[in-house]
C-alpha cells in the first residue's frame, strides 16, 4: 500500500510477533514476495490506554506488568486480523487500530478484564476514536463494578502490582554481577521472557522471578552482524485475501523529524556500518521464535565484557527446541569455537557437525562457500581381513591381506589408524629419540595385536609432503592410507567366518582411552574416521582420568644400546655376556633378510643383529629372497622369542639359534621346510643345537622340490682319494627367453613365478582411459609408466630411458622406453604412454639379464657377431622352448646394457628341455663363439665344465667352421698377462 489512506479501514491479516505493552502489538505479514523478513506494523489498540511499564530510571504504573502479560499470553505468535482506524501524526505517526483474534476483539477482551482504560475523544479529535467506543465504555463500567484488573477493590493491590525491579531492569547494569549469577545458576534452566532481539544470536531477557534484565549471547555460534544504521521506513503487512491487495509497497513515511532527531540521525549516519548478508533474516528468525516468548536459559559462561553466554530453549507445541542449533541448521549462524568450548562435549560436536552439513549443502549464508583445499581423499568399499604382521607405531600397522596370495607385493598393507596421532617413534639413524610414551603405545599394540586376525575398514588416503612434519621415504610426496582396525567380536561356536564378519573393539579407541594418543582435530570437509565421535569420547575419558600423556608424570626413561649401528668391536665386547646366558628372551624388531634379524633384548637393554647358524637364504635381489622375508615377517616379526648366542661375525652380527617362545619351534625350520633356505654346515653341524631337526626340514623340501629345490637332482658322488664328496648343487631356474641383445646376452622370465602371474593379472584388470591431456602428465627419465608395445598393441610396464626435454608439447613426441618385464626396448609416441598406479609400478621388473657362461660371443659390430645373434635368437625366441638355466655365478657389478637396466647379471648354462647339449656348447660347435681363457687355480667344478666345452670348440676348430675359418685366433685382452713387478729389497 503506497499511502496511509490506502491502509485505513482495510482489513489485513498477520501474525503477532511482539506485545510491547497492554495495548500495543507488532504484527508481521503472513506472506511476502520480496527477499528478507516480511513487512510488519506496530498497532496500538484504538481508544485504549494501558498502564505503562518502567522505563530508564522509573517504576511501573500499577498493574502495568499484568496488563502486558495478559495481552502477551493471549495472542503472541497467533494469527490475527486487523485494520488501521486512525493515525496520530503528533506521536511520530503512530497507528491505532482494531485487532481480532479469531472472532474476539482484543480491545474488548483487554477492557473487559480490566487491564486498560478507555480513552474518551477530545473536542479536536472526534474522528480519532475506535469504531467500537460505545461497547468499550460499557465494558469498562462492568469491569469497574466487578473490580477486575486495574479496578481491583482489594486493599493494597495496586501497590503490590508494582514490580520491585533491580537496577539492570531500569537501565543501570553497571553493578550487575554476571559471574555471581553464573556461579549460582550454571547448568540450571532459568525461566525468562525475551524482551528484545539485538541480532540472530543475541537477546535481552527478563530472568524471572527477580526481573534481572540481561543480555545473553547464544553459546557456540554467531549470527551475521546487524551493523549500525538508522531506521528509515516502516513496512506493512499483507492484506486479507478477501480484501483489496496492498502488494509489497513501501510503508508510509513518518511525520517530520524534529531538530534533535535530525542531529541524532546525522550523527548515526556518520558511523553507519551496513549489515552482513542474512543478518535481517537471522534476526527475524530468532524474533519469530522467542521474542516476547517464555524461554529457558541455561548459562554456560561469561565473557570479558560481563555478558552472559548461554543456551536458549523454547517450546514449539509439545517440543522443546534449541535456538542455537536451529540457527546453525538453517544457515543463519556460524559455529564459534571459543564459546562452543563452554558447552558439554556432545552439544559442541552436534553444533559443529550441523554447520559442516550446512556448508556441504550450501544453505543460506554458506551459498557461496568454497571448501578449503584438502589433501585427503575418501576410500570406498575397501574392507578386508588379515593378520597383523607388524606394529610400526602406536597409530600404524602392517596387515597381511587374506585375499591376496602370499608372496605378492601387495600382500602386506600399511594401515594408519584414522583420526588419531600417537607419539612419534623417532629414528635412531638420525639420532631422533622416541617421544614420551611412544614406546609404550607401540608395545601395547604389539602385545595386543601381533599375529592376530583383524578386520580393516579403509576410510581415506592423505598425501603427505615433506613439509608436513611426517617422515617420507624420499624427496617427493607420499600417500598414506587410513582406516579403522577392529578385533573380531567374540562369537559362540567355532565359526571363523562369522567372527571375521563382525567388528569388535576399535583399536584406535583402545589407544586413545589409555592415554597413548590424541584425536586429530580435522578441518572442515577433511575426511575423518567413521567413528570420530567415539574417539572424542574416549579422549575425554582419558583426559579426565589423567592417563599417560594426559598425566603430569614423565614417561619412564629407557636407554637402549643399539648394536646394529655401533661398531663390530662393540658387538664383540657384548659377546661374553650373551654367551653366559643359556637362553635369552628377545623380541624380533625387524626382519632384515630371511635369516637375519634385528632383536631387542629387554634384560640387557640392547638391540642386536642376529643370524641363524648354518641356515642361509637367497641374498637380496636373488630369486625367493623376498618370499623368505615375507614368510619370516608372518612367522616371527615382533614376536617374543628365545635365542642362544654362539658367536659374532666380523660385521658385528651375532650367530646362533632361535625358538618361538610360545610354540618352542626352531625358527630356522620355517625357511628350510618351505624350500627358502639351505643348510651351510662347513664349520660342523655338531655345533648347532637341533641340527638334526634342521636337516630333516631341508630334506623334506628337497624331496618335494620346493622353491630353490624346484630343479634339484640328487648330486653325483665322485671318488677323491678314499673319501666320497657330494658335488656342489647349483641353482637351476626354469625360464623362457624374452629378448636377445647380442654378445651372448639375453633376458629371461622365470616360468611358474607367482610374481609373473600377479603382475599380469593386475595389468589385465586395469581400465585404461584416453590419452592424457598435454601437460597433465610429463614422464621423465627413470619413471615407470604403462606403454603400448607396437607389435601386439598390448600395454606393459616400461621405464623411460630417454624423452624430450621440458614439458610435452605434442602427442607425437617420442619417448624411448624399456619394458621391465620383458627386456625389449623401443621408441613410442606420447599418445601410447599412460601413468601407472604405484601399486602396479612398485614391484620389481620380471625380466632377468643373463649371459652365457664360460664362452665369449662376438658383439654385433664384430665379425660373426650378427651370425651369433641370429643363431641365439632362432634357438631361443623363435623356437618358443622352455630352458633350464644353471646359474654358474652372479655378476653384481651392475653394468648397463644399452641403458636397459642395472643389477645382478646371471652367468648361466642354458639347456633346452628337450636337447642333449647346452646352447653354450652348440654355439661353440657352430663356430660362432669361443671359450674363455683358462685361469690357474680354477675351482674343480669349473674345470670340469671347461673340459666338457673344449670338445665342442675343438670340433669347430678342426672343421674350420665360423670364426676358425682362417685358423686359430687369439684374444689380446686375455692373453696379455700383466708382468709381475719385482719385490722390494
Three-class SS of residue 868? Answer: helix
Is 148 a residue whose pLDDT tops 60?
yes
Average pLDDT score, the chain: 83
Q: What is the mean pLDDT of residues 32-52?
A: 89
Q: How many residues does the chain have?
A: 985
Architecture of the domain whose range is 376-470+477-490+502-550: Beta Barrel (2.40)
Q: Report the share of the chain in percent with pLDDT over 90.
A: 39
What is each CA distance from 479 to 377, 416, 460, 461, in whole angstroms?
A: 10, 11, 10, 7
Quote the cell numbers at residue 942.
669349473
| Band (498; pLDDT cuts 50, 70, 90) | very low
Q: What is the mean pLDDT of residues 582-604?
A: 91
| Band (682; pLDDT cuts 50, 70, 90) | low
Four-point Cα dihedral 746, 758, 413, 427, nearest 10: 0
Task: Select the more confidently predicted residue: 718 or 893.
Answer: 893
- Of 557, 609, 553, 566, the residue nearest 586 (C-alpha): 609
* pLDDT of the residue at 388: 93
Sign, CA dihedral 965-970-971-974, equals positive
45 contacts 116 by C-beta, under 8 angstroms = yes
* pLDDT of the residue at 74: 94
Quote the cell numbers at residue 602.
629387554
643 contacts 667 by C-beta, under 8 angstroms = no
Is 626 a residue whose pLDDT tops 80?
yes
* pLDDT of the residue at 242: 35
Burial of 984 from C-beta contacts in 10 A (0-12 / 13-18 / 19+): exposed
Concatenated DSSP letters of 216-282: EEETTEEPPP--B--------PPBPTTS---TTPPPPP-PPPPHHHHHHHHHHHHT-BPPPTTHHHH
Is 972 a residue whose pLDDT tops 50?
no
> Is the CATH number of domain 561-709 2.40.50.90?
yes
| Band (2; pLDDT cuts 50, 70, 90) | very low
Q: What is the 3-state secondary structure (H, E, C) of 295-354?
A: EEEEEEEECCCCCEEEEEEEEECCEEEEHHHHHHHCCCCEECHHHHCCCCHHHHHHHHHH
Q: Which residues pair with 607 in a beta bridge?
A: 562, 600
* pLDDT of the residue at 378: 83
CATH number of 173-227+275-366: 2.40.50.90
Collect all residues with Cβ–Cβ distance below 8 Å to 952 and sequence separation of at least 6: 917, 921, 922, 924, 925
Is 1 a residue whose pLDDT tops 60?
no
- Could you identify the residue written with the cell 592417563? 547
Is 904 a residue whose pLDDT tops 90?
no
Sign, CA dihedral 805-806-810-814, equals positive
Q: In the chain, which residues fall in CATH 2.40.50.90?
A: 10-163, 173-227+275-366, 376-470+477-490+502-550, 561-709, 848-964
**Taking every pair of C-alpha atoms in the chain, what is the biggest distance, in angstroms?**
152
Collect all residues with Cβ–Cβ distance below 8 Å to 405 and sequence separation of at least 6: 411, 754, 758
Low-confidence winner among 105-114, 434-443, 829-838 (lowest mean pLDDT):
829-838
Is 42 a residue whose pLDDT tops 90?
yes
Encode pLDDT of 405-418 as tens digits: 776 767 888 999 99
What is each CA distance from 753 to 63, 297, 629, in whole angstroms?
A: 99, 73, 17
Quote the cell numbers at residue 659.
625358538
* CATH C-level class of 848-964: mainly beta
Quote the cell numbers at residue 214.
540481561
Gap between the Cα atoms of 270 and 266, Å rounded: 6
Quote the cell numbers at residue 984.
722390494
| Band (501; pLDDT cuts 50, 70, 90) | low
Q: What is the mean pLDDT of residues 835-855?
A: 86
| Band (266; pLDDT cuts 50, 70, 90) | low
Gap between the Cα atoms of 815 and 817, Å rounded: 6
Backbone φ, ψ for residue 709 (5° rounding): -100, 15
Gap between the Cα atoms of 242 and 872, Å rounded: 104
Is 683 a residue whose pLDDT tops 70?
no
Burial of 701 from C-beta contacts in 10 A (0-12 / 13-18 / 19+): buried
Encode pLDDT of 950-960 as tens digits: 999 999 998 88
Q: What is the mean pLDDT of residues 33-38?
A: 82
Low-confidence winner among 109-123, 137-151, 835-849 (lowest mean pLDDT):
835-849
Encode pLDDT of 876-887 as tens digits: 988 788 898 998
Under CATH, what is the fold of the domain 10-163? OB fold (Dihydrolipoamide Acetyltransferase, E2P) (2.40.50)
> Is the CATH number of domain 756-842 2.30.30.140?
yes
113 contacts 51 by C-beta, under 8 angstroms = no
Encode pLDDT of 364-386 as tens digits: 998 988 877 777 788 887 889 99
Collect all residues with Cβ–Cβ distance below 8 Å to 320 and sequence separation of at least 6: 296, 313, 314
Q: What is the pTM of this model?
A: 0.53
- Of 54, 316, 26, the residue nearest 206 (C-alpha): 54
Integer-rounded Cα Rg, in Å, for the chain is 46
Other C-beta atoms lying within 10 Å of the C-beta of residue 640: 16
Amino acid at each position: 500500500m503506497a499511502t496511509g489512506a490506502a491502509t485505513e479501514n482495510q482489513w489485513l491479516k498477520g501474525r503477532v510477533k511482539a506485545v510491547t505493552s497492554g495495548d500495543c502489538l507488532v504484527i508481521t505479514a503472513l506472506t511476502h514476495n520480496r527477499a528478507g523478513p516480511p513487512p510488519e506494523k506496530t498497532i496500538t489498540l484504538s481508544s485504549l490506554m494501558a498502564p505503562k511499564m518502567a522505563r530508564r530510571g522509573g517504576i511501573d504504573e500499577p498493574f502495568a506488568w499484568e496488563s502486558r502479560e495478559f495481552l502477551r499470553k493471549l495472542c503472541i505468535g497467533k494469527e490475527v486480523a486487523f485494520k488501521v482506524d486512525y493515525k496520530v501524526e503528533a506521536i511520530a505517526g503512530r497507528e491505532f487500530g482494531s485487532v481480532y483474534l479469531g472472532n474476539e476483539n482484543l480491545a474488548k477482551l483487554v477492557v473487559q478484564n480490566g487491564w486498560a482504560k478507555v480513552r474518551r475523544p477530545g473536542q479536536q479529535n472526534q474522528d480519532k476514536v475506535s469504531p467500537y467506543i460505545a461497547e468499550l465504555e460499557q465494558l469498562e463500567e462492568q469491569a469497574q463494578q466487578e473490580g477486575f484488573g486495574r479496578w481491583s477493590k482489594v486493599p493494597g493491590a495496586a501497590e503490590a502490582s508494582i514490580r520491585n525491579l533491580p537496577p539492570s531492569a531500569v537501565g543501570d547494569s553497571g553493578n550487575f554481577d554476571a559471574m555471581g549469577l553464573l556461579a549460582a545458576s550454571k547448568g540450571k534452566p532459568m525461566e525468562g521472557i525475551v524482551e528484545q532481539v539485538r541480532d540472530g544470536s543475541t537477546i535481552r531477557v527478563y530472568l524471572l522471578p527477580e526481573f534481572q534484565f540481561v543480555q545473553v549471547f547464544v553459546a557456540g555460534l554467531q549470527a551475521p552482524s546487524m551493523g549500525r544504521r538508522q531506521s528509515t521506513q516502516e513496512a506493512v503487512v499483507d492484506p486479507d485475501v478477501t480484501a483489496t491487495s496492498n502488494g509489497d509497497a513501501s510503508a508510509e513515511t513518518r511525520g517530520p523529524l524534529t531538530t534533535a532527531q535530525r542531529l541524532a540521525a546525522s550523527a548515526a549516519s556518520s558511523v553507519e556500518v551496513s549489515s552482513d548478508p542474512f543478518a535481517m533474516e537471522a534476526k527475524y528468525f530468532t524474533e519469530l521464535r522467542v521474542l516476547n516468548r517464555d524461554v529457558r536459559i541455561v548459562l554456560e559462561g561469561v565473557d570479558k565484557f560481563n555478558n552472559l553466554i548461554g543456551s536458549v530453549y523454547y517450546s514449539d507445541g509439545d517440543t522443546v527446541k534449541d535456538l542455537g542449533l536451529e540457527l546453525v541448521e538453517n544457515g543463519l549462524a556460524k559455529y564459534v569455537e571459543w564459546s562452543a568450548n563452554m558447552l558439554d562435549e556432545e552439544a559442541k560436536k552436534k553444533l559443529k557437525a550441523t554447520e559442516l552439513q550446512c556448508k556441504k549443502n550450501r544453505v543460506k549464508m554458506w551459498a557461496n562457500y568454497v571448501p578449503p583445499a584438502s589433501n585427503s581423499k575418501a576410500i570406498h568399499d575397501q574392507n578386508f581381513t588379515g593378520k597383523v604382521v607388524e606394529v610400526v607405531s602406536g597409530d600404524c600397522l602392517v596387515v597381511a591381506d587374506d585375499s591376496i596370495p602370499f608372496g605378492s607385493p601387495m600382500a602386506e598393507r600399511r594401515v594408519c589408524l584414522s583420526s588419531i596421532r600417537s607419539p612419534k617413534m623417532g629414528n635412531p639413524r638420525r639420532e631422533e629419540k622416541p617421544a614420551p610414551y611412544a614406546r609404550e603405545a607401540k608395545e601395547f599394540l604389539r602385545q595386543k595385536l601381533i599375529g592376530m586376525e583383524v578386520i580393516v575398514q579403509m576410510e581415506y588416503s592423505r598425501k603427505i609432503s615433506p613439509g608436513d612434519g611426517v617422515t617420507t621415504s624420499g624427496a617427493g610426496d607420499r600417500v598414506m592410507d587410513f582406516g579403522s582396525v577392529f578385533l573380531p567380536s567374540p562369537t559362540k561356536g567355532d565359526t571363523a567366518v562369522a567372527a571375521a564378519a563382525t567388528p569388535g573393539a576399535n583399536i584406535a579407541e583402545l589407544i586413545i582411552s589409555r592415554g597413548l594418543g590424541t584425536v586429530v582435530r580435522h578441518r572442515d570437509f577433511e575426511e575423518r574416521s567413521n567413528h570420530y565421535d567415539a574417539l572424542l569420547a574416549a579422549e575425554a575419558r582419558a583426559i579426565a582420568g589423567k592417563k599417560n600423556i594426559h598425566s603430569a608424570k614423565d614417561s619412564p626413561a629407557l636407554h637402549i644400546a643399539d648394536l646394529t649401528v655401533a661398531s663390530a668391536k662393540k658387538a664383540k665386547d657384548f659377546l661374553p655376556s650373551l654367551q653366559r646366558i643359556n637362553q635369552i628372551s628377545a623380541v624380533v624388531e625387524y626382519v632384515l633378510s630371511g635369516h637375519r634379524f634385528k632383536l631387542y633384548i629387554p634384560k640387557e637393554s640392547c638391540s642386536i643383529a642376529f643370524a641363524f647358524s648354518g641356515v642361509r637364504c637367497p641374498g637380496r635381489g636373488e630369486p625367493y629372497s623376498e618370499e623368505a622375508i615375507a614368510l619370516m615377517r608372518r612367522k616371527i616379526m615382533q614376536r617374543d622369542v628365545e635365542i642362544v648366542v654362539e658367536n659374532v661375525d666380523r660385521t658385528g652380527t651375532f650367530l646362533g639359534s632361535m625358538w618361538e617362545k610360545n610354540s618352542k619351534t626352531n625358527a630356522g625350520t620355517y625357511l628350510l621346510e618351505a624350500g627358502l633356505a639351505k643348510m651351510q654346515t662347513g664349520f660342523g653341524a655338531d655345533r648347532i643345537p637341533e641340527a638334526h631337526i634342521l636337516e630333516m626340514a631341508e630334506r623334506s623340501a628337497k624331496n618335494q622340490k620346493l622353491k630353490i629345490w624346484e630343479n634339484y637332482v640328487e648330486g653325483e658322488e665322485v671318488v677323491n682319494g678314499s673319501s666320497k664328496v657330494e658335488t656342489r648343487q647349483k641353482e637351476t631356474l626354469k625360464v623362457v627367453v624374452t629378448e636377445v641383445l647380442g654378445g651372448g646376452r639375453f633376458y629371461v622370465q622365470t616360468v611358474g613365478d607367482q610374481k609373473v602371474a600377479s603382475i599380469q593379472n593386475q595389468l589385465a584388470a586395469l581400465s585404461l582411459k584416453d590419452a592424457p591431456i598435454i601437460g597433465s602428465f610429463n614422464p621423465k627419465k627413470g619413471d615407470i609408466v604403462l606403454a603400448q608395445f607396437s607389435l601386439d598393441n598390448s600395454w606393459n610396464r616400461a621405464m623411460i630411458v630417454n624423452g624430450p626435454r621440458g614439458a610435452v608439447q605434442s602427442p607425437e613426441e617420442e619417448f624411448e622406453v624399456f619394458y621391465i618385464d620383458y627386456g625389449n626396448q623401443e621408441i613410442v609416441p606420447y599418445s601410447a604412454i599412460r601413468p601407472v598406479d604405484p601399486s602396479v609400478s612398485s614391484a620389481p621388473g620380471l625380466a632377468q639379464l643373463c649371459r652365457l657362461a664360460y664362452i665369449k660371443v662376438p658383439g654385433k659390430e664384430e665379425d660373426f657377431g650378427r651370425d651369433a645373434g641370429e643363431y641365439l635368437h632362432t634357438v631361443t625366441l623363435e623356437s618358443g622352448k622352455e630352458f633350464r638355466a644353471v646359474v654358474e655365478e652372479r655378476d653384481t657389478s651392475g653394468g648397463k646394457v644399452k641403458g636397459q637396466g642395472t643389477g645382478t647379471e646371471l652367468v648361466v648354462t642354458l639347456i633346452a628341455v628337450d636337447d642333449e647339449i647346452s646352447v653354450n656348447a652348440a654355439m661353440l660347435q657352430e663356430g660362432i663363439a669361443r671359450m674363455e681363457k683358462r685361469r690357474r687355480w680354477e675351482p674343480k667344478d669349473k674345470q670340469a665344465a671347461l673340459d666338457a666345452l673344449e670338445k665342442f670348440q675343438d670340433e669347430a676348430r678342426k672343421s674350420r667352421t665360423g670364426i676358425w675359418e682362417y685358423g686359430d685366433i687369439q684374444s689380446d685382452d686375455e692373453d696379455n698377462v700383466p708382468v709381475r713387478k719385482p719385490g722390494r729389497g
